[in-house]
């Protein structure tokens, strides 16, 4: 008999989410908290988020058009942005005032540290290339937050929360 993994498809709790976002905000990777916020609120896959370009974001209509996706049905789908995502992305966009539509929302960057206080700093940013990975930053943030989950669990969490909110509006007392 094969063993069953309890973490597959699990949704994280509100407390775990808060701890995770706090740990991500302390990460050297300045883009990680933005990516996690997008994942929790849009249910997008990691690769869909990582490969986002500015032209895929419509702040007027508050929507994201997914580029290349794992499935044919996923490519080109339009996902609404809630206020959390809009505010997060507008704040993120301020860091790239000369961005072009074809530039990556999460550009390739290198991180280092400077000074006696070991303050994280960003250098060698290339907006024409997407970030390679959040693997190390994600693992460290999860460990600091004491949350055991995969990035994909953020997708499950977002879906669960959306369904819970929808059921609140659909339910009516008899």
Range of the domain at 20: 14-105+133-161
Strands 57-58 and 107-114: unpaired
Q: At what angle do helices 152-170 and 32-42 cross, to 10 degrees?
A: 40
CB count, 10 Å around CB of 172? 5
User: In terms of Cα–Cα distance, which of 26, 30, 28, 27 is closest to 92?
Assistant: 30
Paired tokens of 162: 């959306």
CA distances from 141 to 5, 10, 60, 148, 170 (A): 22, 18, 32, 10, 36
What does each of the 174 residues of the chain score in pLDDT, given as a tens digit? 666 565 457 899 999 999 999 999 999 899 999 999 999 999 999 999 999 999 999 999 999 999 878 888 778 899 999 999 999 999 999 999 999 999 999 999 987 776 677 677 888 889 999 999 999 999 999 999 999 999 999 999 999 988 887 766 655 555
pTM for the complete prediction?
A: 0.86
Q: What's the number of domains the chain is made of?
A: 1
Q: How far is CA 34 from the centre of its chain?
A: 5
Question: Would residue 152 count as lying in a domain?
Answer: yes
* 123 within domain boundaries: no
Is residue 57, in this structure, part of any structural domain at all? yes
Which CATH number belongs to the domain containing residue 18 in this structure?
1.10.443.10
């Amino acid at each position: 008999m094969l063993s069953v993994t309890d973490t597959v498809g699990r949704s994280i709790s509100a407390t775990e989410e808060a701890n995770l976002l706090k740990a991500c905000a302390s990460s050297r990777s300045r883009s990680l908290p933005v990516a996690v916020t997008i994942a929790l609120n849009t249910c997008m896959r990691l690769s869909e988020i990582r490969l986002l370009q500015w032209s895929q974001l419509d702040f007027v209509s508050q929507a994201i058009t997914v580029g290349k996706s794992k499935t044919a049905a996923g490519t080109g789908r339009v996902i609404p942005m809630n206020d959390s995502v809009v505010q997060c992305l507008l704040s993120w966009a301020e860091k790239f005032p000369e961005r072009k539509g074809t530039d990556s929302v999460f550009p390739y960057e290198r991180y280092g540290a400077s000074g006696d206080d070991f303050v994280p700093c960003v250098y060698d940013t290339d907006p024409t290339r997407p970030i390679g990975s959040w693997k190390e930053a994600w693992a460290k943030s999860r460990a600091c937050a004491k949350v055991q989950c995969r990035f994909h669990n953020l997708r499950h969490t977002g879906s669960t929360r959306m369904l819970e909110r929808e059921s609140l509006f659909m339910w009516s007392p008899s």
